[in-house]
Structure 1
Amino acid sequence: MRSYPRNSPEAAARIVALVLIADGHVCRSEFEALDQLDAARALGLPTGGLPQAVQALCEDLLMGSYSGGSLITQLDEAALAALMAEVDDPALQANVLALATAAARADQHLAEGEAVVLEAARRYWRLSDAAPGLPVQEPVRLAA
């Protein structure tokens, strides 16, 4: 799996992308929720950058022989920890978690894979002991 510079827009977007694909089905409502929050801009990505982040993550998972079954069950703790370690700025972590949570809830269902990724973010980033179904802060919108 490719690595990104620490706290880069790509590293942050990959965590959001991981939540999007964690249940094996990316819904239009998830992208619409992220668009309403101007997530690409909030993460420092160009317009259209989130679908590209999802594509890059899927390519990495497929190239890394993470094929067969649910993608999230194929991602071991070490790989998940490495992805989370690329985002260590507390403000960025909180923003990524808020965006990822909004995307996970967009279809009115928190799938097991989504909950696993959200809980991993909370655990690795030490943001909250709350259960994945509980509210988190709204994402910060960056000034133009």
Structure 2
Amino acid sequence: MRTYPRNTPQAAARIVTLAMLADAVVSRLELDALDRSGAHRQLGLQAADWDAVVHDFCDDLRDAAQLTWQDGCRIDPRTLAELMAEVDDRELRLKVLRLCVSVVEADGHVGEGEAIVLEAMVEQWGLHREMLQPALKSVRASTPGKPGHATCLTTSS
């Protein structure tokens, strides 16, 4: 598998591509989510450069001995960790995570392969708190009590 210099748009785009391919089904909804988000522009790529990264990654996957295609695109843990290690800038990691989540959630289903990629990102990049932020905001917005503080709700049966 080819390597990219750390924190380059290509290294980031490859991770987003991996998330999109992880369930072996690229839906129109996922492609539309990428277009709406302007993923290639957010990562500093022209559309043709984005396409080249996707094409090169697919070639690498096809040629990789550690790849298996069953219910999705599976990369061995070592290779997955190496791909994630090519992005170590915190802001770029957050941008990549947001793009991956938007792509993975676009079709209303998070497949096993997609979950593996997202979990690897969160674990390796230490983004546990950031993954909880949307849920915490939702709880705070719908929970009575002091602004900005979640309160425990109990129900009686």
> Structure 2: which amino acid aligns with 1:123?
E
Structure 1 range deviating more: 28-37 or 87-96: 28-37
**Structure 1 portions without partners, runs of 5+:** 137-144
- In structure 2, the residue matched to 1:69 is 70
TM-score under structure 1 length normalisation: 0.84
- In structure 2, the residue matched to 1:56 is 56
CA contact (8 A) 2:104 2:114 kept: yes
Query: In the alignment, is residue 33 of structure 1 matched against residue 36 of structure 2?
Result: no
CA contact (8 A) 2:122 2:131 kept: no
TM-score under structure 2 length normalisation: 0.77
Change in CA separation of 1:59 and 1:28 when aligned onto 2, cut-off 3 Å = same
Report the number of matched residues.
134
- In structure 2, the residue matched to 1:90 is 90
> Structure 1: which amino acid aligns with 2:58?
C
- In structure 2, the residue matched to 1:17 is 17
Change in CA separation of 1:21 and 1:91 when aligned onto 2, cut-off 3 Å = same
Tell me the CA shift for residue 58 of structure 1.
1.2
Deviations 1:32-71 (A, max 9, x none): 1111111100011112443432221111011122254355
- Larger CA Rg, structure 1 vs 2: 2
Q: How many percent of aligned residue pairs carry the same amino acid? A: 44
The structure, 1 or 2, with the larger RCO (C-alpha pairs under 8 Å, 6+ apart) is 1
Task: Give the superposed CA RMSD.
Answer: 2.1
